[in-house]
């Protein structure tokens, strides 16, 4: 791995010739940011190649994945797919279609931001690539139709014809491969046959998640008292955002709240290996996984509690999994509706949304 000091020098380089003539057709007259905020990320435009023709294999055949390795789990209609982070580490974007829905599966390892978007904007279906630029450590994407730049962590158009537009987030979840198989035994997994030769399974950011902080300059925001590498579970709330520190959620395993008039519940499980820890991702330490769900079924609110290492509902004592499924008890087989959310390193999210409400004092609700 490149030493941290070398990364700092590389990422601190000004943009200068990034928009060289003939390389970009971006309408520079339209933008919501100062171009000086953009930094070179090392590889040039498309130097990190997006996957445009994804292939999938049955989950049972993906024996190159360790049980604890994380995947981005996506279910639309009756179709479930898993996108392993060991592949996305080297591609960052997958332009896919699930049923009738064109989706963009995105992952920025520097920010822990794994987000799925609808690729349609104002009725136009867009295709996306990796621009080679970063802003506050986060990947900057571009659409191939207009070369507009998009901020991955927020899904916002920031330079070009689509400035001010926002991609619609689709509910997804970062979970262990083992949990994905349990929840979706017939699910499909993104194949390593991507059309590119990459060292899938190797992490080029050794020690990053449990290190001291980001490896490039990031805009300073208000002091929250959070560690830079603290993870935040972020939900949209009206015109703003609410964030739940994962370090506090680890103690309670479950937390209930009301967001945008809806009762929601957050589940935590300690399982799931960090993608940015050990050189080989399968050797990494556990970093935990999160589920966020609507805490209602059949117009009735459900209440939850931790019972040792399990999460159960208070009314029936049914046991629920990190994927929002009732595994045993009177409600066995029931499934909670997922809620759109993101899990990001605190330094990254707060650089973009410093007014986010940090929900503190998480403890097991009684």
**Overall average pLDDT of the 224-252 stretch:** 94
Which of 190, 222, 249 marks a domain boundary?
190
Residues 37 and 104 in one domain: yes
Residues 89 and 184 in one domain: yes
Instruction: Tell whether the model's pLDDT for residue 205 goes beyond 60.
Output: yes
CB-CB neighbours of 49 under 10 Å: 17
Task: Identify the CATH number of the domain in which residue 243 sits.
Answer: 2.102.10
In this prediction, residue 42 carries a pLDDT of 83
In this prediction, residue 366 carries a pLDDT of 38
Place of tokens 């050990």: 278
SS3 helix, strand, coil % of the chain, rounded to 5? 15, 40, 50
Domain for residue 296, yes or no?
yes
CB-CB neighbours of 319 under 10 Å: 17
Domain for residue 41, yes or no?
yes
Domain for residue 309, yes or no?
yes
The residues, any chain, with a CB within 8 Å of residue 282's CB and separated by 6 or more, are 66, 68, 69, 201, 273
Which of 139, 157, 190 marks a domain boundary?
190
For the chain, how long is the longest CA-to-CA vector? 65
Residues 279 and 180 in one domain: no
Domain for residue 51, yes or no?
yes
Residues 36 and 180 in one domain: yes
Residues 243 and 176 in one domain: no
**Overall average pLDDT of the 137-161 stretch:** 98
Using one digit for the tens of pLDDT, what is the confidence trace for 69-121? 999 999 999 999 999 999 999 999 999 999 999 999 999 999 999 999 999 99
Domain for residue 302, yes or no?
yes
User: What distances in angstroms separate CA 43 from CA 46, 132, 134, 264, 281, one per listed residue?
Assistant: 8, 5, 11, 40, 22
Residues 152 and 292 in one domain: no
Number of domains present in the structure of the chain: 2
In this prediction, residue 246 carries a pLDDT of 96
Domain for residue 247, yes or no?
yes
Instruction: Tell whether the model's pLDDT for residue 3 goes beyond 90.
Output: no
Residue 26 and residue 28: Cα distance in Å, rounded? 6
- Note whether 86 and 46 are within 8 A (CB): no
Which of 157, 190, 223 marks a domain boundary?
190
Residues 37 and 175 in one domain: yes
Residue 244's domain comprises: 231-358
Residue 161 and residue 174: Cα distance in Å, rounded? 32
Segment holding 182, helix H or strand E: helix 177-183
Residues 284 and 161 in one domain: no
Using one digit for the tens of pLDDT, what is the confidence trace for 338-366? 999 999 999 999 999 999 999 975 544 43
Domain for residue 252, yes or no?
yes
Residues 59 and 135 in one domain: yes
More confident residue, 363 or 130: 130
Under the banding of pLDDT at 50, 70 and 90, the label for residue 149 is very high
Domain for residue 207, yes or no?
no
Residues 42 and 180 in one domain: yes
Under the banding of pLDDT at 50, 70 and 90, the label for residue 303 is very high
Residues 156 and 279 in one domain: no
Using one digit for the tens of pLDDT, what is the confidence trace for 23-51? 899 999 999 999 999 998 889 999 999 99
Residues 274 and 161 in one domain: no
């Amino acid at each position: 791995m490149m030493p941290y000091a070398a990364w700092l020098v590389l990422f601190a380089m000004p943009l200068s010739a990034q928009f060289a003539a003939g390389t970009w057709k971006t309408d520079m007259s339209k933008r919501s940011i100062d171009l000086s905020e953009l930094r070179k990320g090392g590889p040039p435009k498309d130097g990190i190649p997006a996957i445009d023709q994804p292939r999938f294999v049955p989950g049972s055949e993906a024996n190159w994945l360790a049980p604890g390795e994380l995947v981005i789990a996506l279910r639309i209609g009756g179709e479930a797919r898993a996108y392993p982070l060991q592949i996305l580490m080297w591609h960052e974007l997958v332009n896919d279609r699930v049923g009738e829905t064109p989706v963009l599966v995105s992952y920025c390892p520097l920010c822990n931001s794994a987000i799925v978007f609808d690729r349609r904007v104002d009725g136009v279906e867009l295709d996306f690539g990796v621009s080679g630029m970063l802003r506050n450590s986060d990947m900057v994407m571009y659409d191939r139709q207009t070369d507009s730049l998009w901020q991955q962590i927020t899904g916002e158009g920031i330079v070009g014809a689509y400035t001010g537009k926002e991609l619609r987030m689709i509910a997804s979840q970062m979970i262990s491969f083992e949990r994905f198989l349990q929840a979706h035994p017939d699910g499909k997994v993104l194949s390593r046959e991507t059309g590119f030769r990459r060292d899938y399974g190797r992490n080029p950011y050794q020690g990053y998640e449990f290190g001291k902080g980001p490896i490039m300059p990031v805009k300073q925001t208000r002091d929250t008292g959070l560690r830079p590498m603290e993870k935040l579970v972020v939900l949209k709330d009206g015109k703003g955002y609410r964030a739940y520190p994962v370090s506090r959620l680890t103690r309670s395993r479950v937390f209930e709240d009301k967001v945008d008039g809806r009762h929601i519940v957050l589940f935590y499980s300690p399982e799931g290996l960090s993608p940015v820890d050990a050189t080989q991702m399968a050797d990494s330490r556990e970093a935990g996984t999160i589920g966020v769900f609507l805490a209602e079924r059949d117009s009735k609110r459900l209440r939850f509690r931790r019972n040792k290492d399990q999460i159960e509902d208070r009314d029936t004592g049914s046991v629920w999994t990190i994927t929002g499924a009732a595994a045993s008890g009177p409600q066995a087989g029931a499934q909670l509706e997922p809620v759109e959310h993101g899990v990001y390193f605190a330094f990254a999210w707060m650089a973009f949304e410093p007014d986010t409400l940090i929900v503190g004092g998480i403890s097991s609700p009684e």
